[in-house]
Amino acid sequence: MDIFCKIINGEIPSKTIYEDDKVLVILDVNPRGNGHSLIIPKKHYKDLYDIDNETLIHIFSVAKKIGDMLEDKLHCNGITLEQNNGICQEVKHFHLHVIPRYKYDDIIDVDEVYNILKH
């Protein structure tokens, strides 16, 4: 069982900022920007070639919501969406990175970002 399956099953704690019946959105523990989030389908899919189109469309719909939240609450100046497959995929469970971009990259603590997003 991979780390994302364990997070989804509640075996490993996470900083969840959004959840619905299909996905969990958590803050990345090694962020590349304040609010760097991971959209993880609750059903295990290995990669882009394993996931069904309906779930993929839902994930990108959630990415728009998360992008809006990051702009509203953290005042980012844009977002980057990133998804890796094959040898560049560290965790073999499909996930989409939502990485906020700022004119000035002053990284703050993940706990502080979580508190901003949850209020």
Could you report the per-residue pLDDT of 80-116, keeping only the tens digit for each?
999 999 999 999 999 999 999 998 777 888 999 999 9
Segment 47-55 mean pLDDT: 97
Q: Is 95 a catalytic site residue?
A: yes
* Domain limits, the chain: 3-117
- Write down the catalytic residue from 58, 75, 93, 95: 95
Q: What is the average pLDDT across 66-93?
A: 96
Mean pLDDT score of the chain: 95
Task: For domain 3-117, give the fold.
Answer: HIT family, subunit A (3.30.428)
Separation in Å, CA 104 to CA 78, 95, 97, 101, 107: 12, 26, 20, 8, 9
The burial class, CB within 10 Å (0-12 / 13-18 / 19+), for 81 is middle
17-28 tens-digit pLDDT: 999 999 999 999
